[in-house]
Amino acid sequence: MTNDKTPVSLDEENPEDVSDEELSSPQTEEETSSESASTSSSEENQVFYHKTIARLKREMLRAQKENATLKEKLKHSETVSTQMGQSALESFKINALTLMEKAKTSLKHAHEVSDVEAILTANEELAKAAAQWQWAQTVPLPSQQNPEESNGSESQEDPDPHPATQAWVLKNPWINQESSLFQGEKASAVISYATALEQQLMAQGRGHEINTPSYFKDLDTFVRYWDGLQGGHKTMKSVTTVASTKGTPSEGGQKHKDALTADEKEICRTMGVSEAGYLKQKKALALERAGQS
């Protein structure tokens, strides 16, 4: 019996016969896709960097403009502060002169009606006003700062305040801008006075006295006079008049003539103030400045 087996033709492809191109084709597409994505991401990063740099440049220019504006405002503020300090002292002098004129009128009227008590009171008020006016002549006016010096100082960092200054500010919150009790006009006037006082001490070789108790006493004295200007004639404490068995203040004044300077005597003669009354108020003013902290 014959075993007839017809060979079956298989059209199946042998894996070995598959071309390399066909095998490598999917891998090439993946690499192409990856490279495309990488290129797109790189371009996005470049765009982001360019935008960020442009934004930073704009912010830098804006900050420079704001800085320039703030510098101009600072210069203006310093000028106004100096002017206010000068204005405060001038106002004080004018106020003292006004009080002297008022006291002269009262003195004249008291003489007309022969009121001895009113004469003594008017003489005391006249001497008090004259002493205030004379004190104002000794107060240093703040000097205008050279713009070049101002520009040079801007480049220097402000040192930390002296401990004594910090303590004084704590006791006087009206000078602190961050305080609810801040008083701008008063603070500017006092700061201007302090600056002028420091300049005067330095010019006299007494810079070591800055931030000492006597320095702050001078500041406190100016503060009291400033408050007096704002509130009327309240700058001096009332002086108790002790009855003298040796005569009126004018008569007793002859004993203390040598205690007055030639300029002060001239002021008394010019303004019609008794030298005794002037001397009395001068001493009271000295105690006012030196006896309170």
**pLDDT tens column, 80-121:** 556 556 666 677 777 777 777 787 788 788 888 888 788 778
Quick one: pLDDT at residue 233? 41
- Residue 40 resides in a domain: no
How many domains is the chain partitioned into structurally?
A: 1
In a domain, 270, yes or no: yes
Q: What pTM, to 2 d.p., does this model score?
A: 0.33
Sign of the C-alpha dihedral, residues 171, 172, 177, 180?
positive
**DSSP character at residue 205:** T
* Terminal Cα-to-Cα distance of the chain (whole angstroms): 143
- pLDDT grade for 185, boundaries at 50, 70 and 90: confident
The C-alpha atoms of residue 262 and residue 260 are separated, in whole angstroms, by 7
pLDDT at 293: 47
- How deeply is 242 buried, as exposed, middle or buried, from its count of CB atoms within 10 A (0-12, 13-18, 19+)? exposed
Asked whether residue 190 is assigned to any structural domain, the reply reads yes
Decide if pLDDT at 64 tops 60. yes
Whether 265 is covered by a domain: the verdict is yes
Query: Domain for residue 137, yes or no?
Result: yes
Torsion of CA 194, 195, 198, 199, to 10 degrees: -150
The alpha-carbon radius of gyration of the chain (Å, integer) is 43
Q: Is residue 278 in some structural domain?
A: yes
Strands of 69-183 (E only): list them. none
Asked if 83 and 95 touch (Cβ cutoff 8 Å), the reply is: no
For the purposes of burial, counting CB atoms within 10 Å of the CB of 126, is it exposed (0-12), middle (13-18) or buried (19 or more)? buried
Range of the domain at 220: 86-141+161-290
- Please determine, for residue 164, whether its predicted confidence score (pLDDT) is greater than 50: yes
Residues near 65 by Cβ (< 8 Å), separated by ≥ 6? none
Instruction: Give the model confidence (pLDDT) of 231-257 as tens digits.
Output: 544 333 333 333 333 444 444 444 444
Q: Return the minimum-mean-pLDDT range out of 42-56, 74-88, 245-259.
A: 245-259
Grouping H, G, I as helix, E, B as strand and the rest as coil, residue 236 is coil
Is residue 145 helix, strand or coil?
Answer: coil
Handedness of CA 260, 264, 267, 273 (dihedral sign): negative
Instruction: With respect to residue 54, please indicate whether it lies within any of the assigned structural domains.
Output: no
Percent of the chain at pLDDT > 90 equals 0
| C-alpha distances out from residue 45 to 38, 50, 53, 201, Å | 11, 9, 12, 63
What torsion do the CA atoms of 169, 171, 172, 177 make, to the nearest 10 degrees?
A: 50
Q: DSSP letter string over 147-169?
A: HHHHHHHHTSPPPPPPHHHHHHH
Instruction: Report yes or no on 81 lying in a domain.
Output: no
Mean pLDDT calculated for residue range 262-287: 68
Beta-sheet strands, E only, within 73-197:
none
Alpha-carbon distances, residue 106 vs 90, 112, 131, 236, 247 (angstroms): 24, 10, 18, 19, 21
- pLDDT at residue number 81: 54
- Structure confidence by residue, pLDDT tens digits, 223-234: 887 777 665 443
Compute the mean pLDDT over every residue in the chain, rounded to the nearest whole number. Answer: 66
Is the model's pLDDT at 214 over the cut of 50? yes
Categorize the per-residue pLDDT at 62 as very low, low, confident or very high, splitting at 50, 70 and 90.
confident
Q: Of 135, 132, 125, 126, which Cα lies nearest the Cα of 273? A: 126
